[in-house]
Amino acid sequence: VQIVKLRDEFDQDDVLFCDKYRIKQKNLRQSIEIAQQKLAHIECSDEMRLLIAKGCHEANVDGVRADIVWLRAAMSYTAWRGSKSVTRADLDMVAELVLAHRRQVGSSSPPSASQPQPHSEQTPPNNRRPDNSKREPEKKQDNESQEASDDQKSGQSDGDSHDEDWGSMPTQSMQLDNKVTFKATAQEALNNNNIKPSSINEFATQNGLVTNGNKLNKRKQGNAIDWHETISQSANVKGLQWPPTKLERKKAKTGKGVLHLILLDCSASMLGQAVFAKAKGAVLDIAHQAYIKREQITLFIFGNNQVEQVQPKVRAPKDMSLFLNKIEAGGGTPFREGLEQVAHWLSKFHKQSPDCLSQTYIFTDGRTRADVSDIQLEGHCHLIDIEASAIKRGRAQLIADSIGAEYFTI
């Protein structure tokens, strides 16, 4: 109500409105400048830092990004108050602003005032952002994105662990990398269960689509007569020959149908070192091979604390590059939720199509602490580790072993 009143006052006489608040704006600017000068001298004890760590653990957030933002927010508020040291009251004042959109599904409710964790008394639903946090000032969002970018660069150069959580970053787009190839096909993978290559390129070499110039899975001629084709061929001769001199036979079926299910990690950690573009390139190659073989494909993505099936089950299209380029990355990593939804979908699919083979490709950097050892996916499963750093910080290899998937790297 107050905002609407002020806007109405401004519309009636903008000059008078600006004159009325000029002194207040000047005082506010001076207060901000003073707080900025004091910020470098603000102290935060280990006790307060421990309270921040416990609060983030209670909220079940990923990584240390929330710890860093909470600490900086509390120090900024302390400087604004004109104090020198961060107190418990400062932590409580900014706690909900930091944790509201970072709480993961399954986090416990905030503790009571007697417990050491500095949480707000009101906890928003775990599966959505609170109404008052949907829109923030544009300048603040730009600063948040810049901080996330700076933390990413510092983490790559000095090995710091600040880049383990990217939940505060807005979604971003990244063009796919067409140079990445992944030529594993359903029948070839099923026939080579004992092959455990360490990279996708090695797997593609061992399981190429062309062997000695001959295409694989060549159709064999069946026994049934194809009368439509027989008559058509007879009509091509000068005048319709009857009876036909040659009987055309129906081609035998190639075997069971194949479905390629792709689960793509679209969390903010995928934006580092262009791994998201490489993942899109690999997905594009899988889709192209499926198109050549007239096989089906479906695409699930998980990121920004949600799971979505962006491409329903269809026969693989000729080109998915424009579609893939529109997919953005950002936010948290609901990895377990993604696997659970895919497992449920596969179970329903195999009940409806028991003769169809399924190939599942999971693209992720493994930046998650979720336990998925109790989840099993029907059909053949590949986990592609797209973490590009020399020292792996993710858990992709452990995840692949726990769910019984073949492990590959890009």
What is the CATH number for 292? 3.40.50.410
pLDDT reported for residue 232: 74
Spatial distance between the Cα atoms of 148 and 161, rounded to a whole number of angstroms: 13
- Whether residue 304 is predicted with pLDDT greater than 60 in this model: the reply is yes
Comparing CA positions, the residue from 139, 161, 138, 143 lying closest to residue 151 is 161
Looking at the fold, whether 56 and 187 belong to one and the same domain comes out as no
Specify the higher pLDDT residue, 307 or 107. Answer: 307
Domain that holds residue 95: 16-135
pLDDT in tens, 6-30: 888 888 888 888 888 889 888 998 8
pLDDT tens digits along 321-336: 888 988 888 888 889 9
Do the domain assignments include residue 123? yes
Mean pLDDT value across residues 46-69: 88
* Same domain, residue pair 244 and 261: no
| pLDDT at residue 140 tops 90 | no
Query: Residue 107 pLDDT > 90, yes or no?
Result: no
134 or 405, higher pLDDT: 405
Please name which of 406, 334, 340, 350 lies closest in space to residue 376, comparing C-alpha atoms. Answer: 340
**Overall number of domains in the chain:** 3
Token duo for residue 378: 């029907």
Mean of pLDDT values over 338-349? 94
Residues 239 and 259 in one domain: no
Query: From the CB of residue 133, how many other CB atoms can be counted at a distance below 10 Å?
Result: 12
Average pLDDT over every residue of 250-260: 76
- Token match 């008078």: residue? 16
Residue 9 lies in a domain: no
Higher pLDDT, 51 or 241: 51
How high is the pLDDT of residue 286?
93
Share of the chain above pLDDT 70, in %: 67
Residues 93 and 190 in one domain: no
Residue 280 CA to residue 303 CA, distance in Å, equals 15
Q: Could you tell me if 207 and 300 lie in one domain?
A: yes
Question: pTM, whole model, 2 decimals?
Answer: 0.44
* CATH number for 126: 1.10.8.80
Tell me how far apart the terminal alpha carbons of the chain are, to the nearest angstrom.
Answer: 55
Tell me what pLDDT residue 120 has.
Answer: 43
What was the pLDDT predicted at 198? Answer: 42
Mean pLDDT of the chain: 75
pLDDT at 197: 38
Pair (186, 318) in one structural domain: yes
393 and 311, same domain (yes or no) = yes
Say if residue 243 is in the same domain as residue 302: no
User: Can you tell me the mean pLDDT for 192-209?
Assistant: 42
User: Are 58 and 189 contained in the same domain?
Assistant: no
Residues 119 and 63 in one domain: yes
Residues 61-79 have a mean pLDDT of: 90
Question: Looking at the domain assignment, is residue 56 inside a domain?
Answer: yes
Of 104-118, 187-201, 225-239, 321-335, the range with the lowest mean pLDDT is 187-201
pLDDT (0 to 100) of residue 240: 61
Residue 203 lies in a domain: yes
Residues 231, 104 share a domain: no
C-alpha dist (Å) from residue 374 to 58, 94, 264, 386: 23, 37, 20, 23
* Residue 166 belongs to a domain: no
Which pLDDT score is estimated for 170? 55
Q: Is residue 28 part of a domain?
A: yes
pLDDT range class, residue 344, cuts 50, 70, 90: very high
Q: Is residue 2 part of a domain?
A: no
Residues 55, 85: one domain? yes
State residue 171's pLDDT score: 57
The radius of gyration of the chain's CA atoms, rounded to the nearest angstrom, is 29
Burial pattern 67-106, b for ≥16 Cβ within 10 A else e, equals bbbbbbbbbbbbbbeeeeebbeebbbbbbbbbbbbbbbee
pLDDT attached to residue 339: 94
